[in-house]
Amino acid sequence: MNYPISKKEILAQTLDKTGANRIIHCSRSWSGLMVLNYHRIGDHRQSLFDWNLWSATPEAFDQQVQYLSKNFDVVTPNDLSDVFKSRRGRHVLITFDDGYRDNYEFAFPILKSYGVSGTFFLATSFLDQPSIPWWDEIAWMVRNSENNSIDLSQWSHEKIPFDKPDCSKAIYQLLKIYKSLNGSQTADFLEAVSQQTKSGRCPDSLAGDLWMTWDMVREMAENGMSFGGHTVNHPVLSSLEEDQQEAEILNSGKRIEKEISKFPVAFSYPVGGDSAFTEMTQKLVQKSGYQYAFSYYGGYSSFKQAEFNPYDLPRVPVEMDTSLSRFRSILTLPQIFA
């Protein structure tokens, strides 16, 4: 995919190339907690699944972790109570959502080689009964379709054209509709996309090596990696009734506890935008026994803030088009780039 070069990217490259990032870094322009969020590591180009899930190539991730390990205090969720008490320093938490196997194959060895920890939020049913998640299935149905558009009159006012060959815009539009649905409508929506694309449903056999196994989770935990809850089935929590939300939140933590003998300290909200969880969701996360929960709409926790909401800690996405200049700028001047 070719991304148009943005003004922020130009600024990031200028700051980096002129050495300004180095000077600003040394002047300690911020203090607080920066939480970075990744999903997949690898090469998306041959995949029929959702390309937006890939955050970095192994080479880019290696460069990013090297930079973090040299310049910042990389912490784990267990360190956060001390971090928030200290109100000093620049702390970074490296997080991954969903539990994709490439996290074990590519991210884990890189993190280990630099002696830093990553935190992996697992949607536990993906490990227990490997299946294709809704975002990857929607992408697969669109990319497998011989049609040139999709007509979903019950769900969308307009026909959605397929921007072949990569279909990224069509997939984005369909995912946006999915995220806006009530939890009781999502199964019907997937069925409608399957029929209209004439692709059928994505077979679970394609999920055979998509997710980590619990053996991998235990090996990573034994090597200093942390794990957190991310629900059982990865629904948009705000679309569910209270009892369903509670079961999704609590049972993912219990499932992880069964494997690594420790109920997780942290949780991350699926999708994570400000409409993906409510105040009630935050209370349920707290009631379930988690001490922290992470959202996903950018920003960082500055020690200049009077207080922090431990159940809505912001995270910054790292994406395939995040250049090393941009990455260093996010960490140097989060006030502008995070």
> Where do contacts with Zn ion occur on this chain (CB under 5 A)?
97-98, 270
Three-state DSSP class for 152?
A: coil
Alpha carbons 263 and 253: distance in angstroms, whole number: 6
User: What are the DSSP calls for 190-215, one per residue?
Assistant: HHHHHHHHT--PPPGGGGTTTB--HH
Smaller CB separation from Zn ion, 38 or 61: 38
Give 11: exposed, middle or buried? Use CB within 10 Å, 0-12, 13-18, 19+.
Answer: middle
In the complex, minimum distance from the CB of residue 268 to Zn ion, in angstroms, rounded to a whole number: 7
* For Zn ion, the closer CB: 228 or 270: 270
Residue number with CB closer to Zn ion (79 or 97)? 97
Least distance from Zn ion to the Cβ atom of residue 120, Å:
11
Task: Compare residues 264 and 270 and give the one whose CB is closer to Zn ion.
Answer: 270
Torsion on CA atoms 38, 39, 40, 45, rounded to nearest 10 = -100
How near is the Cβ of 219 to Zn ion at its closest, in Å?
A: 22
CA–CA dist 132, 171 (Å, integer) = 15
| Residues 97 and 39: beta-carbon distance below 8 Å | yes
Q: Which is nearer to Zn ion, 97 or 246 (CB)?
A: 97
Cβ 230 to Zn ion shortest distance, Å: 6
Taking the least distance from each CB to Zn ion, the nearer of 98 and 248 is 98
Angle (CA) 174 176 182, round 5°: 100
Residues 267 and 230: their CA atoms lie apart, in Å, by 6
Residue with nearest beta carbon to Zn ion: 97
Whether 130 contacts 211, CB under 8 Å: yes
**What is the chain's length?**
338
* Phi, psi (degrees; rounded to nearest 5) at 149: -160, 175
Provide the minimum distance between the beta carbon of 270 and Zn ion in the complex, in angstroms, as a whole number: 5
By beta-carbon proximity to Zn ion, the closer residue of 220 and 333 is 220
Tokens, residue 167: 């279909």
**Beta carbons of 240 and 230 less than 8 angstroms apart:** no
Name the β-bridge partners of 72: none
Residue written as token pair 């946006």: 176
* Residue with smaller CB distance to Zn ion, 32 or 229: 229
Cα separation, 190 vs 170, in Å, equals: 15
Instruction: Write phi, then psi, for 234 (nearest 5 degrees).
Output: 60, 50
User: Could you tell me what percentage of the chain is helix, strand and coil, using 3-state DSSP and rounding each to the nearest 5?
Assistant: 45, 15, 40
Min dist. Cβ of residue 98 to Zn ion (A): 4
Q: Which is nearer to Zn ion, 84 or 267 (CB)?
A: 267
